[in-house]
Amino acid sequence: MNRPAGSYSSGSPLDRIRVVLSHPSHPGNIGAAARAMKTMGLSRLLLVNPKCFPDQQAVARAADAGDILTRAQVCGSLDQALAGAIHVYALSARHRNLGPPAMPAREAATDIVAQASDGEVAVLFGNETAGLSNAEVQRCQRTVFIPANLDYSSLNLASAVQLVCYELRLAVFDGRPPVLTRAVPFASPLAPHQEVERFYEHLERVMVGSGFLDPQRPRRLLPKLRRLFGRAELESDEINILRGLLDAVERKSSGPRPANDDLKNSGPK
């Protein structure tokens, strides 16, 4: 059935939540995910290197959600799909020792809606066969799990999208405030994904250059630092302060920063 026109406003937090499918292998699942999104009022679908898209199977499974497929953005990399997002949530049933903090889907939905009051939020789903890689999960601030049967918790991709979108809709419309206000408003916007990733690259370069980090054995330290800064929910101004500090360390220890680094206006304003 079609969703009645005007059932949610253009100012809904749902309009600022993007669903990202990483390397989907079956076009039918893409179409079914689009249908799941539309039934719950979400409309922004991004695909990272889909195996087969566009495809007639996707159109058939989407039913009356073909407009979601038409507007779907195909991205060549995960960074492209996450660009501009201030918060990224990874759907994963697997426990990861060095991954971001995990939360159940219902709790996560409330958190996602609150984050969407400040800017763009991405919900990341993995490949049908392998799910999300550790590297993909480490690019996110939270891991979300669906509390399914422990003896068999494997869900079809489109089914997982449907459940998460349902929880998001409940968080907005089922007697809860559509936007959860913060006790202390942010002084500046949360830093978008690309700024945060450039900060991590800068941080790693300085740690290697100073001898603090062995570039051959970075696996445990770097994910822990990502967890630390992910919990902090860094603002753009805070990223500038941190990168200004790293800049000063580089100048002191090894000369000026490389010319191709695009940091601008480093330091506090």
User: What tens digit of pLDDT does each residue of 187-223 get?
Assistant: 678 999 999 999 999 999 999 888 888 877 766 888 9
Range list for CATH 3.40.1280.10 in the chain: 13-173
How many residues in total does the chain contain? 269
Helix (H/G/I), strand (E/B), else coil: 237: helix
**What is the per-residue pLDDT for 149?**
92
Whole-number percent of the chain with pLDDT over 90: 71
CA distance linking residue 253 with residue 230, whole number of Å? 27
pLDDT for 264 beyond 80: no
If you average pLDDT over residues 85-106, what whole number do you get?
92
Of the two residues 245 and 182, the one the predictor is more confident about is 245
CATH 1.10.8.590 range(s) for the chain read 193-253
Q: How confident is the model at residue 96 (pLDDT cuts 50, 70, 90)?
A: confident
**Residue with the larger pLDDT of the pair 177 and 236:** 236
Instruction: Return the CATH number of the domain spanning residue range 193-253.
Output: 1.10.8.590
Mean pLDDT of 92-109: 91
pLDDT reported for residue 254: 66
Mean pLDDT to the nearest integer, 257-264: 54
**Is 49 exposed, middle or buried, given 0-12, 13-18 or 19+ CB atoms closer than 10 A?**
middle
Residues 72 and 81 sit within 8 Å (Cβ to Cβ): no
Q: Which CATH class is domain 13-173?
A: alpha beta
Lowest mean pLDDT among 19-23, 94-98, 111-115: 94-98
Q: For residue 98, give every residue at least 6 positions away whose Cβ sits within 8 Å of its Cβ, in sequence order, or none.
A: 134, 138, 219, 220, 223, 224, 227
Residue-averaged pLDDT of the chain: 87
Please tell me the predicted confidence (pLDDT) of residue 255. Answer: 57
